[in-house]
Amino acid sequence: MNQDDDGADGATTAGNHRIGVIISDEPRINDEIRVSQVRLIGPNGEQVGVIATSVALNLAKEANLDLVEVAPNAKPPVAKLIDYGKFKYNEKIKQREARRNQSTAEIKEIRFRLKIDEHDFEVKKGHVERFLNGGDKVKVTIMLRGREQSRPIGGVELLQRLADEVAESGTIESAPKQEGRNIIMTLAPKGKKVHTQSEQRRRGAESRAERQARQAARLAAKQEAKAQEAKEAQAVVAEATETSATK
């Protein structure tokens, strides 16, 4: 590579890598910390103060902990004594739980006609409530015909009525507005889908625990029956041996 093709610092950047340099999001730990002094925080959050990095490393070794740089841009950098392996493990667990509990709300759509009869309105309202209670947003669309487009107020009133009647399950996220031949409103659930998912997981865990308990009880019963059979067999053998000896 010619020097003219190099950057000002003699390296080219490609994503998070430069030639000869790997940029990492991981903090520096132990011997990776090359500064002469650090502001040390103890394992329980106590402020130790500014000390030589070599002394901090010795303290970490004596406590069977790691010296982790938590604020590298401070003057001097701030380091903390922690069990880094345990810390990383707990972080992975937290991230896994966060992904598991993440809400994956969908947007459902319900369509109305402006001149909808009461029965159909109640049916549609039931669908809206079901979607909201399941943690999904609902896009409600009123389709206007002919002259209805010039007098959309009736559609706005109908959507507002719907929002009022499902208020326990959801709130208006996007107020009714006319878009071409349609009037559109978006409702958002009050409760989070994660709550529903968590309840389902809790019930699933309880069901699994019950099945495991029943299996363990059946296994224990079988083992006890086998032990009883073995005991009875031993008694028969012992009796036969005693009878033979008597004869």
**pLDDT tens digits, 63-80:** 899 999 988 888 899 999
pLDDT for 218 equals 79
Indicate if the pLDDT at residue 103 is higher than 60. no
What SS3 class is residue 209? helix
pLDDT for 89 equals 86
Indicate if the pLDDT at residue 5 is higher than 60. no
**Mean pLDDT of the 217-227 span:** 78
- How many CA atoms lie within 13 Å of 236's alpha carbon, on the beta-carbon side? 6
d(CA 72, CA 35): 10
For residue 230, give the amino acid letter: A
Q: What is the pLDDT of residues 135-181, one digit of tens each?
A: 889 999 998 887 777 676 788 889 999 999 999 999 999 999 888 88
Highest-pLDDT range among 43-52, 89-98, 142-151, 202-211 = 43-52
Q: Which residue has the higher pLDDT, 14 or 33?
A: 33
Residue 211: pLDDT band with limits 50, 70, 90:
confident
pLDDT for 216 equals 77
Indicate if the pLDDT at residue 53 is higher than 70. yes
**Mean pLDDT of the 19-32 span:** 67
Residue 17: pLDDT band with limits 50, 70, 90:
very low
Per-residue H/E/C for 118-171: HHHHHHHHHHHHHHHHCCCEEEEEEECCHHHHHCCHHHHHHHHHHHHHCCCCEE
Indicate if the pLDDT at residue 193 is higher than 60. no
Residue 19: pLDDT band with limits 50, 70, 90:
very low
Indicate if the pLDDT at residue 228 is higher than 60. yes
Residue 88: pLDDT band with limits 50, 70, 90:
confident
**Mean pLDDT of the 198-224 span:** 73
pLDDT for 170 equals 92
For residue 137, give the amino acid letter: K
pTM score over 0.85: no
Indicate if the pLDDT at residue 185 is higher than 90. yes
**Mean pLDDT of the 3-8 span:** 44
d(CA 109, CA 128): 9
